[in-house]
Amino acid sequence: MAETEIALSRTIVPPGRSAETVQDRNGFLTRRATLAPATADPEARTVEVVWSTGAPVRRRDMAGQYMERLSLAPEAVDLSRLEGASVLDAHRQTAVRDVLGSVRSAAVDGKRGTAFIQFSARPEVEPVWQDVLAGILRHVSVGYSVEEWSETAENGARVMTAVRWMPHEISLVPTPADPGAHIRMETEMTETTTREAADTAPTTETRAEANAEIRSIARIAGLDQSWIDRQIDGGADPDTARRAAFEALAQRSAPAIRTEQVRVEMGESQDDPALRARQMGEALYARINPRHELSEPARRYAYSTPVDMAKELLTLRGESTMALSPASLVTRALHTTSDFPIILGDTVGRVLRDAYQAAPSGIRRLGRQTTARDFRAVNKIMLGEAPLLEKLNEHGEIKAGTMAEAREAYKVETWARKIGITRQVLVNDDLGAFSDLARRMGQAAAETEARILVTLLEAGSGNGPTLSDGKTLFHADHGNKAGTGAVISDATLSAARLALRTQKGIEDRTIRVTPRNLLVPPALETTAEKWLASIAPATAADVNPFSGSLSLVVEPRLSSATRWYVTADPGEIDGLEFAYLSGAEGPQVESRSGWDVDGVEIRVILDFGAGFIDHRGWFMNAGA
């Protein structure tokens, strides 16, 4: 292992080894020791690291170059995720093999961030740990996300300081963006003297280490040898050199230097404007619906107005927001970034879906939901009854059976409507008007579905659509239509029930459909409730045979005040079926900056279709 001469201001002897004190020709006391981290514990496999000194790093966004700083004030750094986090190999996080160890503890003191890390005992990690002990691997880097920036200017250069941020992981890297981020090589400083320069001996780093770190700072910042010589000749320590490097970078107008990217996000980048937009949309929705429990990432926007959100999105995109009025912020957000319409579309979508799901639709309960892959006709094949089993003859021959089939078809179609949210509503933070518009569109989507289903049911002058056999859904030949219309009574309900119970299948065999629902218009609701009510009969003649056997379904969109229906459970037998386009169940919301309105245009699209697959689960009485 290579050896080096270290001035006696710090002891850098690795654990378990001794150092020999010698006197050089100039009279200085020195110790000869191996260049290994004295903070390492070989048995516990732990070592102390400095993961950030807040050193400036040159970045670029849409507004141009800027210097990025990380505030190391304790109140600025959230360490909750770093303690217990992974120690990674060069920020890679694609597999378990990229994890070298874990962070046992972490702290910040205003000047630097430190941590104790423990390395894994896995065989593949052992070479890395040995290089750390040997002092070969020394550089570290931190992956983090920023919640709040502070923008200032220094020497004419733009400076973005992270004043609320969260480190996620620590990595071993070949070259750090922060020159001061390293595995700590020194132990606590010992009391030392020199024969000629005791008062001027370094107090924060050994001179050799300091010079090496100054050279590292210069290499990363792209500074030449003359700058290095000035720092070393002036006796600068690493902190002074970092400040000097920052000033040199701020004054230099040359192209951006090449630096290693420090930020490594866990999962989705929290700086991604599109992700921020979704979080803002959720927070805006929570203001409309206080019962919604915000996710942790969206909680930071719990009290933000649309104007606040517009300003932050513009800042993330590199747009200047200084001296802009609320109306100007909203206008610029609408026309310079697609993220702001995403916020509003997300919020509208959430409110719309709530209203859509809450909107009552009686007839929808009586159908079966499915999906369609595209807009071509959905062909439904119904198999007949399985052939009956036959007794084997004396030769043991088993005869083959066949199953009849029938086919019905329908297709999914697109229904859409566009609405506008004005800029005035956004600037005024008028969430009442905003939510009311979205709620009404949700109700309109549910109403559209219900009307499609009712129109289908009442086609053919109330006899339903024409099926593949050329007959309407309700037809005497189908055995599911009362010969004479009559009011709801024991007799008419019994006739309906009997008709379903004795339905014949495709092969003309009785299939015994079970009646489950009584569908009526509002005009018959009270009458239906009486015939389905539970009573305590005094005699057998007073027993209500339909109490608890049928569920009442009221559909206000039925056009006839007298017509009523008895239906089977859609899970038992095919009947009414409705479908959405696959992956687009329910109404879908799209948004963009408005052209026809001064604000945002929201488009609601519903890909929906319905059809009757079989007539055997429905019975109709025209009433009287």
pLDDT per position as a tens digit, 290-338: 888 888 888 888 888 888 888 887 887 777 777 788 888 888 777 766 6
Q: pLDDT confidence of 176, banded at 50, 70, 90?
A: confident
CB atoms within 10 A of CB 583: 9
Distance of CA 146 to the CA centre of its chain: 18
Q: pLDDT confidence of 344, banded at 50, 70, 90?
A: confident
Mean pLDDT of 117-127: 93
Question: pLDDT digits over 355-376, tens only?
Answer: 888 877 789 999 999 988 888 8
In the predicted model, what is the mean pLDDT of the chain? 78
CA distance linking residue 163 with residue 151, whole number of Å:
10
Residue of 342 and 187 predicted with greater confidence: 342
3-state secondary structure of 212: helix
Residues 6+ apart with CB under 8 A from 542: 535
Query: Residue 247: its pLDDT value, please?
Result: 75
Mean pLDDT of 582-602: 78
For 52, 93, 120, 271, 294, the CA distances from 267, given in Å and listed in that order, are: 22, 9, 23, 12, 19
Q: pLDDT confidence of 208, banded at 50, 70, 90?
A: low
Query: Residue 523: its pLDDT value, please?
Result: 95
Query: Residue 597: its pLDDT value, please?
Result: 66
The four Cα atoms 468, 469, 470, 472 give a dihedral, to 10 degrees, of -90
Task: From 505, 501, 498, 502, select the one nearest 388 (Cα to Cα).
Answer: 505
Contact present, 445 and 586 (Cβ < 8 Å):
yes
Mean pLDDT of 449-475: 94
- Segments in 304-379 forming alpha helices (H): 306-316, 326-336, 339-358
The answer to whether residue 3 scores a pLDDT higher than 80 is: no
Query: Residue 31: its pLDDT value, please?
Result: 37
Angle at 149 between CA 332 and CA 290, to 5 degrees: 70
Percent of the chain with pLDDT over 90: 28
Q: pLDDT confidence of 75, banded at 50, 70, 90?
A: very high
CB atoms within 10 A of CB 269: 14
The answer to whether residue 475 scores a pLDDT higher than 70 is: yes
Burial of 519 from C-beta contacts in 10 A (0-12 / 13-18 / 19+) = buried
Backbone angles phi, psi at 297, to 5 degrees: -65, -30
The answer to whether residue 6 scores a pLDDT higher than 50 is: no
Q: pLDDT confidence of 184, banded at 50, 70, 90?
A: low
Q: pLDDT confidence of 522, banded at 50, 70, 90?
A: very high
Q: Tokens in use for 28?
A: 């200085």
Question: pLDDT digits over 254-263, tens only?
Answer: 444 444 444 4
Q: Tokens in use for 356?
A: 């859509």
Q: pLDDT confidence of 18, banded at 50, 70, 90?
A: very low
Query: Residue 480: its pLDDT value, please?
Result: 94
Query: Residue 355: its pLDDT value, please?
Result: 84
Query: Residue 262: its pLDDT value, please?
Result: 41
Burial of 546 from C-beta contacts in 10 A (0-12 / 13-18 / 19+) = middle
The answer to whether residue 9 scores a pLDDT higher than 70 is: no
- CA quadruple 405, 408, 409, 415: dihedral sign: negative
Domain regions of the chain by residue span: 3-187+203-251, 273-347
